[in-house]
Structure 1
Amino acid sequence: MVSILRKAAVAAALSSVIWLTPFAVSAETIFDAMAKAYQNNPDLNAVRAGLRATDEGVAIAKSGYRPQISAALQGTATQLGTEAFPNFQFPRRGTPLVAEQVRTGLATITITQQIFDGFQTLNNVRAAEANVFSSRETLKANEISILLAAAQSYANIARDQRVVSIRKRNMAFLKEQLNAARSRLDVGEGTRTDVSQAEAELAGAQAILANAVSQLKQSEAVYVQIVGDMPKGVKQPAPASRAMPKNLDQAVASGLRDNPTIAAAQYSVDAAGYRVKSAEGTMLPGVVVQGSLSRNTTDRTNGTDTASAAITARLEIPIYQGGAEYGQIRQAKERLGQQRILVDSARAEVQQTIVTANAQLEGALASIIANKAQVNAANMALAGVIEERKVGQRTTLDVLDAQQSVLVAEESLVASQRNAVVASYSLLAAMGRLTIKSQDLQVAEYRSEKHYEAVKDKWFGLRTVDGR
């Protein structure tokens, strides 16, 4: 009898700790979820649009190298009137007026070229380019964040589905216990207390099942928000294995080298440095060359049309501009110092995140081993209590308590498995390795440099690269 009970308990334990749920038609993996999120997530697409707008900053900055051309047209109509005085006689009332209408026109075209501006344009262009590189790294950080959110959402649904399944099995078990308690009461072997205890446990189980179903629906809603599609055939994922570090030291070194948040902060330092130089350039002389061509026309009798052309070179030497130039330079230097501090802050945050994720992963993996042993022991204990109740050595309350231990153990195992998955992908994200290449996601990579190359030297055009 003991051998039979042991085999039954082990079988029950194994069925409760299996990692994969039954395969469903059109099932998608955690990698499919990340690929969909990479392609469909609106927040990520908004960041990409913002990067395209940042790309235009380079073309705007380069406009300082280019000529400025303007044209002006002016037309004037003048009504002239004079009285006729024949033979120099004093005019009488009613003497007729000699009227004349004169029309004049002026057309001007002006070309202005900045020859030297204290290297302001040069440094503005370099700052704009650094901003583009920083924004690219920020985009990578957002991509990693969305991939991690998709993986976490997928793991949450897998967890919640298994919790619902566990609680449904718990409901079925408690219904059997209630029916058994009623049967024993009918034949005089049980008590009304046993029936009430079974009813109370069953009612409580219905409540926690309702909560589990509600939590599953909430997780599905988050999944749709991140991935852009309803989950289909979600299976219990295993912890990440691709691109995982060998140890904590390697993880930290990789994160400090590859994390895009750090790279973005470093490019921001470069941009701030160029802004300091640009601000200092306002105190240097500037040279401007301006050429103009104009034509003045008139229809007045004996009038003459005239045309003129001029070219002017102007040397501008700033002496004092109210002190604004000094304040702007000091302000730019303070912002440069701020950006350097933010680099240190980003490094410290990345290191802390990596250490935390690694600790969470180690803790979750250890919990899985302990929880599996707990589930196995709890199922064996439950089987033994049921048999002991049959011979009168245990009560219904003992059975219900044993079943509650099984329920807690199984849900703890499910939670540990979910935590291991999330912690592993969090570790990859903190290292900067959670990318579509490292995870071999079947989705086209967004190439931000294509738009940049198309617009960085563009002189004309109102339409965007995609035709809007």
Structure 2
Amino acid sequence: MVSIFRKTAVAAALSTALSLLPYAVSAETIYGAMEKAYQNNPDLNAVRAGLRATDEGVPIAKAGYRPRISATATGTLTRLESEQGPLAGGGTATEDFHTGSAGITITQQIFDGFQTLNNVRAAEANVFSSRESLKANEISILLAAAQSYANIARDQRIVTIRKKNLAFLKEQLNAANARLDVGEGTRTDVSQAQAELASAQALLVTAVAQVKQSEAVYVQIVGFAPKGIKQPSPASKALPKSLDQAVAKGLREHPTIAAAQYNVDAAGYGVKSAEGSMLPGVVVQGALTRNTGNSPGSGGLDGNTASITARLEIPLYQGGAEYGQIRQAKERLGQQRILVDSARAEVQQTIVTAHAQLEAALANISANKSQVNAANMALAGVIEERKVGQRTTLDVLDAQQSVLVAEENLVTSQRNAVVASYSLLASMGRLTIKSQGLQVAEYRAEEHYEAVKDKWFGLRTVDGR
């Protein structure tokens, strides 16, 4: 017979399992999960903050176009002590003199070998690259939300299946005990039923623990506890008609490739900026100074000084650092070009893999449904044969195990089809809030960029911090 300890464990597991079953009220959909993740995921919000910081690189680079203004003020106090002769009465005479100046200097770079121009263009390319990287992160988070939703749906259904299995095995144990009491069964039959029941109890507890783990991942990604999770269907919006179409669209639209191409642009401008250090530079500086004082020779008069200076600087040799910087920039440009090829290869490989997984999952669903039907028919037949003495309790238990495995395989293959379909969209760069019709406000990165790209001054961020 089942021990008291085992009965208590089963009751606790069943109670927890019941609390994890889907609710009809406030049911969450897979689209709702993606919407919440798009709004609340902290990793995604951190990437958005990083993009806003990257936006500031443009006004920083544009500072090379703008004048630099500085003000200076100096003051000097001089005390002169002199000894007087006998005719002047002797003693020491003290006299204070002071001088002071205040001025303002304006420096304007007229030409710097196009370094500022290329630095601005590189900063703009970095912004565009970061935007594409943000899109890639958004796709990754939406996929993670869909996957975590499908995982919970799978795990909750497995809990339900294992509950049914546990109830069936309890009936078999009761039947084995009843047959033993009337002399038609054996102690072995009872022991076999007890062993299978204990194993089913452990399986149920494991399934409940797995649901809790999947829910924890869901909360981490989505930001809210799951409610009323239902079995989702594979993605249908924006799916390609063929593998070739998927690869073509992925290579054309995936943000990772676009980000790599913008990085090539930024590196190219970096080369031009480095080469600009070899060109002449022209600077104009204007200064206005107010002088005051009563020092000897100043006549005790205040005066103003104004000057304008133009400076032409032609670099001839700067220790060789300029040559190393140019070579370094060219190597980085070559690296970024290689990374574009790497990004294309990775996207293509991911698309092919996701497409193959989707095809396999859909095929497995059909096969597993047939397996479930056949296993249930076999179980019913074995039970009937046992009634006339042609089968044993062990045969019934083995047949029930086949049913359990078939049903769990079906649930797993259905989950795999959902995840593979959304993975295919993600690998193509098409898992977006627009393509899936998500009811959530789109984050518009260009709004922050437009607000800061031409700012001359100001300490506060666009949102007032």
Residue in 1 that maps onto 2:124: 129
| Secondary structure of 2:233's aligned partner | coil
Local SS of the residue matching 1:340: helix
Distance 2:163 2:293 in 1: 97
- What SS does the aligned partner of 2:261 have? helix
In the other structure, the counterpart of 2:201 is: 206
Q: Residue 56 of structure 2 aligns with which residue?
A: 56
Q: Which deviations, in whole Å up to 9, do the C-alpha atoms of 1:422-455 show, x marking residues without a partner?
A: 0000000011110000000011000000000000
Q: TM-score, normalised by structure 1?
A: 0.93
SS in 1 for 2:106: strand
Does residue 336 of structure 1 match 2:345?
no
Distance (whole Å) between structure 2 residues aligned to residue 125 and residue 253 of structure 1: 33
Which residue is equivalent to 1:405?
402
**CA-to-aligned-CA distance 1:323-370 (integer Å, 9 cap, x gap):** 000000000000000000000000000000000000000000000000
- The separation in 2 between residues aligned to 1:73 and 1:340, in whole angstroms, is 52
2:349 alignment counterpart: 352
SS in 1 for 2:171: helix
Q: Give the 3-state SS of the residue equivalent to 2:56 in structure 1.
A: helix
Other structure's SS at 2:459 match? coil
Q: Distance in 1 between matches of 2:202 and 2:184?
A: 30
User: Identity percentage over the alignment?
Assistant: 82
Select which of 224, 243, 246 maps to 2:241. Answer: 246
Selected match of 1:441 from 438, 441, 461: 438
Q: Aligned partners of 1:118, 1:278: CA distance in 2, in Å?
A: 8
* Counterpart for residue 321 of structure 1: 318
Deviation of 1:85 (Å): 2.1
Q: Is the 8 A contact 2:145 2:218 kept in 1?
A: yes
Deviation string 1:297-334 (CA, Å, 9 cap, x unpaired) is 11458522221011100000000000000000000000
Give the root-mean-square deviation of aligned CA atoms. Answer: 1.2
Structure 2 residue runs of 5 or longer lacking an equivalent are: 1-20
Q: Which residue of 2 aligns with 1:147?
A: 142
Gaps in structure 1 of 5+ consecutive residues: 1-20
1:27 and 1:73 mapped to 2: Cα distance? 71
Determine if contact 2:22/2:227 at 8 Å carries over to the other structure: no
Q: Distance in 1 between matches of 2:247 and 2:86?
A: 106
Partner of 2:448: 451
CA distance in 2, matches of 1:225, 1:218: 11
Equivalent position of 1:303 in the other structure:
300
Corresponding residue for 1:110?
105
Match of 1:181 in 2: 176
Aligned 1:189-228 pairs, distance under 5 A: 189-228=184-223
Alignment of 1:369-384 (within 5 A): 369-384=366-381
Report the AA paired with residue 55 of structure 2. Answer: D
User: How many angstroms does 1:22 deviate by?
Assistant: 6.0
What are the Cα deviations for residues 184-236 of structure 1, in whole angstroms up to 9, with x where unaligned? Answer: 10111100000000000011111111111111100000000000000000000
- Residue 108 of structure 1: how far off its partner (Å): 1.5
Q: Distance in 1 between matches of 2:105 and 2:22?
A: 77
What SS is found at the alignment partner of 2:273? helix
1:243-322 correspondence runs (5 A): 243-300=238-295, 302-322=299-319
Show the counterpart of 2:32: 32
Measured in 2, the distance between the counterparts of 1:281 and 1:22 equals: 65
Give the aligned residue type for 2:311. R
Q: Give 3-state SS (helix, strand or coil) of 2:24's partner.
A: coil
Which residue number in structure 2 is paired with residue 4 of structure 1?
none
Partner AA of 1:409 in structure 2: A
Tell me, in whole angstroms, the C-alpha distance in 2 between the residues paired with 1:22 and 1:316: 75
- Please name the residue that 1:96 is paired with: 91
Paired residues of 2:22 and 2:229 also in contact (CA < 8 A): no
Residue from 413, 417, 420 that aligns with 1:420? 417
CA–CA separation in structure 2 for the residues paired with 1:398 and 1:73: 101
The one-letter amino acid of 2:47's match is V
Deviations 1:113-132 (A, max 9, x none): 00000000000000000000
| SS across alignment from 1:118 | coil
**In 1: Cα distance, 2:187 partner to 2:395 partner:** 16
Find the aligned partners of 1:154 and 1:96 in 2 and give their Cα distance.
99
Structure 1 runs of 4+ off > 4 angstroms?
A: 299-302
| Secondary structure of the structure 2 residue equivalent to 1:79 | strand
* Aligned mates of 1:291, 1:300 — CA distance in 2: 27
Deviation at 1:76, TM superposition (A): 1.6
SS in 1 for 2:102: strand
Structure 1: distance between partners of 2:99 and 2:182 = 121
Q: Deviations over 1:166-190 (max 9, x none)?
A: 1111111111100110011011110
What code does the residue aligned with 1:192 have? R
The answer to whether structure 1 residue 232 and structure 2 residue 230 are counterparts is no
Moved more, 170-179 or 291-300: 291-300
Provide the rounded CA distance (Å) in 1 between the counterparts of 2:34 and 2:307: 64
Specify the alignment match of 1:389 in structure 2.
Answer: 386
2: distance between equivalents of 1:392 and 1:299? 128
C-alpha displacement of 1:79: 1.6
1:86-134 CA deviation, whole Å, 9 max, x = no partner? Answer: 55x9x9xxx3211112222111210000000000000000000000000
Output the CA distance in 1 between the equivalents of 2:119 and 2:22: 59
Q: Which residue of 2 aligns with 1:17?
A: none
Work out whether residues 23 and 227 of structure 2, in 8 Å CA contact, stay in contact via their aligned partners in 1.
Answer: no
Aligned to 1:160: 155
Question: TM-score normalised to the size of structure 2?
Answer: 0.94
- Secondary structure of the corresponding residue to residue 321 of structure 1: coil
Q: Helix, strand or coil: the match of 1:108?
A: strand
Which residue pairs with 1:172 in the alignment? 167
Aligned position for 2:362: 365
